[in-house]
Amino acid sequence: MPDQQKIDEIKATLARARAVAVLTGAGVSADSGVPTFRGTDGLWRNFRAEDLATPEAFARDPRLVWEWYNWRRELIATKHPNEAHRALVELERRHERFLLITQNVDGLHRDAGSSRLLEIHGNIWTVRCTACKQIEDNREVPIAIPPHCRACHGLLRPHIVWFGEALEEEALDRSMGAVTSCDVLLIIGTSGVVNPAASFAGIAKAGGAFVAEMNLEETPQSAMVDLAVRGRASDTVPLLL
């Protein structure tokens, strides 16, 4: 089936849908110039993301971890939402029951205007005190290294779900609820290998939803979904409008 025919079928299905869920990953941010911070993109001073984004790394050397996060924040601060981000804001406006679930931590969906949004891995512009547990937005670029809580002077950490940490229970419950009850699930710009997001396609299909994947390359989800559209998110997602 040609991609335009697939796009038309997704549009028709969306027009009939009462509840829509969307899952986005690094491919959406990549179109804004945000590196994946994994693999070769994430190499920094010969450290891999997997070596730094862990509770153990932070306990061992919080200054080093914060130097890496400050580098990331400085990079992301120069980036802006793209056409895919903006198209998803419009899709949200058109559907009363809508939830955008993102694995991205760059805050670009929020910057674009998405409000029914669940950042399941956290947000790089949010910090959490390791002492009093207070959470607050912080847009300082550069940030003090290491930063300390204004309330209790405890050490701050990025409010991000690191490797080896579980998703917050509320985020997991809300995302599972949306995926279980949706009529349509759009999976955009994600490789589909990180759980629990990797399970969303199967859960939605089991609930009778129409599942479409929009990604540059084939993924482990591709054989399972109803339709797969190949291309950049910023090129394909706006076509759904």
pLDDT of residue 40: 61
Spatial distance between the Cα atoms of 13 and 145, rounded to a whole number of angstroms: 49
Spatial distance between the Cα atoms of 30 and 75, rounded to a whole number of angstroms: 12
Task: Examine the domain organization and report whether 235 and 191 are in the same domain.
Answer: yes
Task: Examine the domain organization and report whether 27 and 14 are in the same domain.
Answer: yes
What is the Cα Rg of the chain in Å? 18
pLDDT of residue 38: 67
Q: What is the pLDDT along the chain (241 residues), one digit of tens a residue?
A: 558 899 999 999 999 999 999 999 999 999 999 987 665 666 677 788 888 999 999 999 999 999 999 999 999 999 999 999 999 999 999 999 999 999 999 999 999 999 999 999 999 999 999 999 999 999 999 999 999 999 999 999 999 999 999 999 999 999 999 999 999 999 999 987 788 888 999 999 999 999 999 999 998 889 899 999 999 999 999 999 9
Task: Examine the domain organization and report whether 22 and 52 are in the same domain.
Answer: no
pLDDT of residue 194: 80
pLDDT of residue 195: 83
Task: Examine the domain organization and report whether 137 and 224 are in the same domain.
Answer: no
Task: Examine the domain organization and report whether 201 and 236 are in the same domain.
Answer: yes
DSSP bridge pairs for 127: 136, 158
Are 27 and 236 in contact, with CB atoms under 8 Å apart?
A: no
pLDDT of residue 41: 62
- Domain residues for 25? 3-33+81-121+167-240
| Other Cβ atoms within 10 Å of 43 Cβ, number | 13
Spell out the alpha helix ranges (H) of the chain: 3-16, 26-30, 49-52, 55-60, 62-76, 83-94, 108-112, 169-181, 200-206, 233-236
CATH code of 151's domain:
3.30.1600.10
pLDDT of residue 103: 95
> Which of 132, 160, 188 corresponds to the end of one domain?
160
Domain count, the chain: 2
Task: Examine the domain organization and report whether 117 and 235 are in the same domain.
Answer: yes
The string of pLDDT tens digits covering residues 149-189 is 999 999 999 999 999 999 999 999 999 999 999 999 999 99
Catalytic (active-site) positions: 121
